[in-house]
């Protein structure tokens, strides 16, 4: 059974993430969306809130799980879940260098774990969680970029009317 981990901050999850998850589900028998706690990133949603949003967006699919991890290496987390694959989305060439570096480091730490990339669909290639926070925070519409539930929670957090 091929298990893949799709790690990320998901602060908040976007339609771009949904796209990668839905396509990942067609490839892997079991997909675990793992909300990472990165102390260097300033986040507005707690890990539990991010998982709740992901469940609202994508819950109810039997081969899809949601989890969170912190204070440990991604490869050690993957091993603990018997996952041999790390799934990542690639948006633009700017992502390439960062992903290349992470993949090489992970390969060195855990040669048995492969990182597989899916190209983000072009309509989401400009999208990031920070950009969405900026747009919604300044009163713009998140339509088509995040689901209404995420936009609503973002407005609450950012105190936008």
Where on the chain is the footprint of ligand COA (CB under 6 A)?
Answer: 7-9, 11, 14, 16-17, 20, 36, 38, 41, 73-74, 89, 91, 102, 105-106, 120, 124, 127-130
Which CB, 38 or 63, lies closer to ligand COA?
38
Nearest approach, Cβ of residue 64 and ligand COA (Å): 16
Cα 37 to Cα 142: distance, rounded to the nearest angstrom:
24
Strand ranges for 21-63 from DSSP E:
30-36
Cα 126 to Cα 2: distance, rounded to the nearest angstrom:
30
Half-sphere exposure of 88 (CA within 13 A, CB side): 19
φ, ψ at 150 (rounded to 5°): -70, -40
Nearest approach, Cβ of residue 142 and ligand COA (Å): 12
Of the residues 50, 91, 133, 153, only one is catalytic, namely 91
**DSSP helix/strand/coil, 143:** coil
Select the residue whose beta carbon is closest to ligand COA and give its number: 16
Task: Tell me which residue has tokens 């700017």.
Answer: 94
Nearest approach, Cβ of residue 137 and ligand COA (Å): 13
Give catalytic status of residue 41 as yes or no: yes
Among all residues, which ones are annotated catalytic?
A: 17, 41, 91, 129
């Amino acid at each position: 059974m091929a298990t893949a981990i799709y790690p990320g901050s998901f602060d908040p999850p976007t339609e771009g993430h949904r796209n990668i998850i839905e396509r990942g589900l067609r490839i892997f028998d079991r997909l675990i969306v793992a909300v990472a706690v990165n102390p260097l990133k300033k986040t507005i949603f707690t890990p539990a809130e991010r998982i709740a949003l992901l469940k609202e967006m994508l819950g109810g699919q039997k081969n899809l799980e949601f989890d969170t991890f912190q204070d440990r290496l991604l490869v050690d987390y993957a091993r603990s879940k018997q996952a041999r694959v790390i799934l990542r989305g690639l948006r633009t060439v700017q992502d390439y260098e960062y992903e290349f570096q992470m993949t090489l480091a992970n390969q060195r730490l855990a040669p048995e774990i492969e990182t597989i990339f899916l190209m983000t669909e072009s309509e989401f290639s400009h999208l990031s969680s920070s950009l969405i926070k900026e747009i919604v925070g300044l009163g713009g519409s998140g339509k088509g970029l995040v689901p209404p539930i995420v936009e609503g929670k973002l407005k609450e957090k950012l105190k936008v009317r």
